């Protein structure tokens, strides 16, 4: 029996892949409703279509443009060659769970994993025997803690409001220098998800963005949450225990999105459990590590550096790279950027000084 703890995108997709191979799969989810509470911006790159077919049932909007603001008020306007997707996370997660159920996986909702002693798990008040245990249970993974796989992980905080605001339905906005960065992700022309990521003081930075972009906006909902920082030394497998998704810190540090990489890790795990850690470091970890290096450099940026960066990327030769290359895989475009504009190397020095 394979027990998956957590019914988020990574856990559900893994359950689907394993059940499709006729494994006996049980998914245990702490909450009684899959995909709730929402703690995600819900913007996913076109890479999603390479993993699963897109369904209108979970699609909220499609984005084909982005405007990136520097602290001095200048902006960079980018038009994507392929649209990004804005999803309803409750419906998206539920769709993946339905796929897994149809393939034969069994779901147990409102069932909290407390710990395991060897292959005996404590779920709620029950003790259940398993053969394989998978932690897909988010950034504060109990599976990781119970099996000495925590690995000194660190976090940033995401803080987001869904608000009523006038906006362009097909354009996402990013604001550099507010916290780590801020965003406005439209659901339509009058409702958007406005949020920030920061190491500290998330309420202060979010209010700063609200005051700048949509002062006095009516707040429809609030979605705060912790986001793990990718740890290249994270243990991904130990005996019969495996970690995927946020539980494995598989989040790209440039944008702090992790849905695509978590689902890719599920594919790697379902294909070859024995060599999961080695294969995952090669197939998923390289891009996550490069994203981490980019984030470490940007953590040392001044407002002047952000202003210079936006000015450089306003050149057509750099905009073209942003518009045509997948943001999920920086290993596939970083060289193109440096060849097009060698002056970008000056920002890399932030890693050294």
Query: Using H for helix, E for strand and C for coil, what is the string for the chain?
Result: CEEEECCCHHHHHHHHHHHHCCCCEEEEECCCCCCCCCCCCCEECHHHHHCCCCCCCCEEEEEEEEEEECCCCCEEEEEEEEEEEEECHHHHHHHHHHHHHHHCCEEEECCCEEEEECCEEEECCEEEECCEEEECCCCCCHHHHHCCCCCCCCEEEEEEEEEECCCCCCEEEEEECCCCEEEEEECCCCEEEEEEEECCCHHHHHHHHHHHHCCCCCEEEECCEEEECCCCCCCCEECCEEECHHHHCCCECCCCECHHHHHHHHHHHHHCCCCHHHHHHHHHHHHHHHHHHHHHHHCCCCHHHHHHHHHHHCCHHHHHHHHHCCCCCHHHCHHHHHHHCHHHHHHHHHHCC
| CA gap 175, 163 in Å, rounded | 17
The pLDDT of residue 41 is 85
The pLDDT of residue 289 is 97
Establish how many alpha carbons lie within 13 A of residue 159's alpha carbon, considering only the half-sphere containing its beta carbon: 19
Q: To which residue do tokens 């936006």 refer?
A: 310
The pLDDT of residue 350 is 66
The pLDDT of residue 254 is 93
The pLDDT of residue 346 is 83
The pLDDT of residue 349 is 72
Closest-CA residue to 105 (of 126, 134, 77, 65): 134
| CA gap 125, 127 in Å, rounded | 7
Q: Cβ distance 102 to 94 under 8 Å?
A: no
| CA gap 123, 106 in Å, rounded | 15
Spell out the domain ranges in the chain.
Answer: 2-35+89-152+231-295
| CA gap 61, 184 in Å, rounded | 13
Q: What b-and-e string marks burial along 159-192, b requiring 16 or more CB atoms within 10 Å of the CB?
A: bbbbbebebeebbbbbbbbbbbbbbbbbbeeebb
| CATH number of this structure's domain 2-35+89-152+231-295 | 3.50.50.60
The pLDDT of residue 353 is 53
Q: Output the tens digit of pLDDT for each of the chain's 353 residues.
A: 999 999 999 999 999 999 999 999 999 999 999 988 877 788 999 999 999 999 999 999 999 999 999 999 999 999 999 999 999 999 999 999 999 999 999 999 999 999 999 999 999 999 999 999 999 999 999 999 999 999 999 999 999 999 999 999 999 999 999 999 999 999 999 999 999 999 999 999 999 999 999 999 999 999 889 999 999 999 999 999 999 999 999 999 999 999 999 999 999 999 999 999 999 999 999 999 999 999 999 999 999 999 999 999 999 999 999 899 988 999 988 888 888 888 888 887 765 55
Tokens of 151: 């690995």
The pLDDT of residue 351 is 59
The pLDDT of residue 249 is 98
Closest-CA residue to 93 (of 5, 9, 4, 27): 9
């Amino acid at each position: 029996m394979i027990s998956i703890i957590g019914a988020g995108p990574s856990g559900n997709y893994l359950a689907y892949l394993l059940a499709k191979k006729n494994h006996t799969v049980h998914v245990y989810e702490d909450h009684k409703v899959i995909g709730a509470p929402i703690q995600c911006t819900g913007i996913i790159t076109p890479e999603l279509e390479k993993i699963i077919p897109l369904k209108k049932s979970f699609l909220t909007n499609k984005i084909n443009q982005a405007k990136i603001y520097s602290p001095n008020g200048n902006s960079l306007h980018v038009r994507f060659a392929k649209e990004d997707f804005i999803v309803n996370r409750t419906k998206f997660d539920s769709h993946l769970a339905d796929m897994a159920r149809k393939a034969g996986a069994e779901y147990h909702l409102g069932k909290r994993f407390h710990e395991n002693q060897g292959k005996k798990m404590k779920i709620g008040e029950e003790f259940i025997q398993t053969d394989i245990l998978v932690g897909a249970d988010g950034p504060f993974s109990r599976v990781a803690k119970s099996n000495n796989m925590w690995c000194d992980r660190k976090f940033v905080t995401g803080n987001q409001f869904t608000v009523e605001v006038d906006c362009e339905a097909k354009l996402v906005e990013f604001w550099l220098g507010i916290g780590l960065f801020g965003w406005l992700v439209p659901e339509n022309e009058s409702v958007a998800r406005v949020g920030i990521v920061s190491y500290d003081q998330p309420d202060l930075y979010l209010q700063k963005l609200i005051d700048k972009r949509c002062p006095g906006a009516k707040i429809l909902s609030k979605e705060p949450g912790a986001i793990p920082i990718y740890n290249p030394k994270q243990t991904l497998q130990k005996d019969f225990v495996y970690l995927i998704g946020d539980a494995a810190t598989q989040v790209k540090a440039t944008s702090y999105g992790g849905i695509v990489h978590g689902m890719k890790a599920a594919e790697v795990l379902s294909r070859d459990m024995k060599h999961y850690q080695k294969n995952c470091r090669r197939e998923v970890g390289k891009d996550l590590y490069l994203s981490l290096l980019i984030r470490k450099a940007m953590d040392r940026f001044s407002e002047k550096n952000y202003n210079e960066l936006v000015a450089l990327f306003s050149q057509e030769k750099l905009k073209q790279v942003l518009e045509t290359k997948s943001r999920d895989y920086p290993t596939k475009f970083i060289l193109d950027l440096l060849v097009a504009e060698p002056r970008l190397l000056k920002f890399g020095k932030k890693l050294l000084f």
